[in-house]
Amino acid sequence: MNNTKTQEVKTLLGTLRLNSINDQLDELLITAIKEDTTCVEFLHLALQKEVDARNAKSRAQRLKRAAFPYHKTIDDFDFGFQTSVTRRQIQQLMDMHWIEKAFNLLFLGPPGIGKSHISIGLGIQAVELGYRVIFISMDELIKTLKTEAISAKSKRQLKNIMNCSLLIVDEVGFLPITRQEANLFFQLVTNLYQNTSVIVTSNKGFDEWSEFFGDPVITAAVLDRLVHNSELFNITGESYRLQHRNTIFDQ
Ligand code: ADP
Ligand code: MG
């Protein structure tokens, strides 16, 4: 092997930021000579390595940025236990076509029945298919919106939210919010409307939303935008946590 030439190739690969090929060039060349690979086969293999490495890196970045509170997929979900939403319904959402159309999903129901789990499972699938996803609790989202002007971190997070394809807002209605906070949320929903899909989970029915938003007009305006293009899941049943309680004592 001509060492000077190899060094020059490495410099060129560096300039082009083809880092994976650069790192593995020696092995790739040795294998190519050993296996008497054609030029086009060699090029194909090298480029494929670069593309694979880039895809893996961007997937890992997207997964990290999504900030899921736990990692559970739709495959981990027991549709035998939770029957008010069917595997077929959720399976139909797994192609993420609804994200392309900026449709929203609303999961309503009592605690422990799988609202967050399903949202996270769909979010993970969206990440796998290349979408940018952000998971945030309503409480955290309100804090972020309120501190946008004074916190660089909040500003960055809101920029990420505006650039994502799917925003998952968990636990809407858990804690009451002020009118000013409700207004900030309304503005965000308006900005995302028809551009970004939103998944909302809430332990409150829509009839109770006015109470925690503190204003029927804002509530109506928020719901109007969220519900316009959406699928609504009213989930019922027993808490999975209570039924599958971990105990301290042997039975
Ligand atoms: P919530 O409806 O309050 O958001 P979660 O989705 O967080 O409830 O579910 C509570 C816990 O129970 C999670 O650990 C979740 O993975 C689990 N869980 C709930 N429903 C199911 C189910 N049908 N199959 C498997 N795990 C479930
Ligand atoms: Mg939850």
Whether 94 and 37 map to the same domain: the answer is no
**Mean pLDDT of all residues in 55-70:** 97
The strand order across the sheet containing 230-234 reads 133-137, 166-172, 197-202, 104-108, 230-234
Whether 122 and 23 map to the same domain: the answer is no
Q: How confident is the model at residue 142 (pLDDT cuts 50, 70, 90)?
A: very high
Partners of 200 in the beta sheet?
106, 169
Domain contains 247: no
Quote the ligand 2 centre to 59 CA distance (angstroms). 24
Quote the ligand 1 centre to 82 CA distance (angstroms). 9
Domain contains 243: no
Domain contains 246: no
**Mean pLDDT of all residues in 231-241:** 89
Whether 112 and 130 map to the same domain: the answer is yes
Residue 2: the pLDDT is: 65
Q: Decide: residue 245, CB within 10 A, 0-12 exposed, 13-18 middle, 19+ buried.
A: exposed
Whether 102 and 168 map to the same domain: the answer is yes
Nearest to 49 by CA among 36, 32, 66: 32
Whether 227 and 155 map to the same domain: the answer is yes
190-214 residue pLDDT tens: 999 999 999 999 999 988 988 888 8
Whether 102 and 41 map to the same domain: the answer is no
Residue 243: the pLDDT is: 81
**Mean pLDDT of all residues in 133-145:** 97
Whether 35 and 92 map to the same domain: the answer is no
Residue 251: the pLDDT is: 59
Domain of residue 152 covers 74-237
Whether 81 and 11 map to the same domain: the answer is no
23-47 residue pLDDT tens: 999 999 999 999 999 999 999 999 9
Q: How many CA atoms lie within 13 A of 118 on its CB side?
A: 30
Domain contains 122: yes
Instruction: List CB-based neighbours of ion ligand 2 within 5 Å.
Output: 116
Q: Decide: residue 249, CB within 10 A, 0-12 exposed, 13-18 middle, 19+ buried.
A: exposed
Domain end position, chosen among 64, 91, 115: 64
Query: How many other β-carbons are positioned within 10 Å of the β-carbon of residue 219?
Result: 20
Domain contains 242: no
Nearest to 133 by CA among 119, 143, 144, 153: 119
Residue 89: the pLDDT is: 95
Percent of the chain whose pLDDT exceeds 90: 84
Domain contains 163: yes
| Closest Cα to atom 26 of ligand 1 | 77
Ligand 1 neighbour 241 (Cβ under 6 A): yes
Q: If you average pLDDT over every residue of the chain, what do you get? A: 94
Nearest to 197 by CA among 248, 247, 126: 126
In this structure, the dihedral spanned by the alpha carbons of residues 54, 100, 64 and 183, taken in order and rounded to 10 degrees, is 150
Percent of the chain whose pLDDT exceeds 70: 98
Q: Is the pLDDT of residue 173 over 60?
A: yes
100-113 residue pLDDT tens: 999 999 999 999 99
Whether 116 and 150 map to the same domain: the answer is yes
Provide the CATH number for the domain around residue 107. 3.40.50.300
Computed on alpha carbons and rounded to an integer, the radius of gyration of the chain in Å comes to 24
Domain contains 69: no
Question: Residue 81 CA: which ligand 1 atom is closest?
Answer: 23
Whether 82 and 32 map to the same domain: the answer is no
Domain contains 249: no
| Closest Cα to atom 20 of ligand 1 | 114
Domain end position, chosen among 64, 89, 117: 64
| Closest Cα to atom 5 of ligand 1 | 114
**Mean pLDDT of all residues in 125-149:** 97
Question: Residue 76 CA: which ligand 1 atom is closest?
Answer: 25
Whether 211 and 133 map to the same domain: the answer is yes
Quote the ligand 2 centre to 149 CA distance (angstroms). 29
Residue 242: the pLDDT is: 82
Q: How confident is the model at residue 236 (pLDDT cuts 50, 70, 90)?
A: confident
Domain end position, chosen among 16, 44, 64: 64
Q: How many domains does the chain have?
A: 2
Whether 38 and 79 map to the same domain: the answer is no
This prediction's pTM: 0.90
**Mean pLDDT of all residues in 11-31:** 95
Cα separation, 25 vs 33, in Å, equals 12
The SS3 of residue 212 is helix
Structure tokens at 94: 């797994």
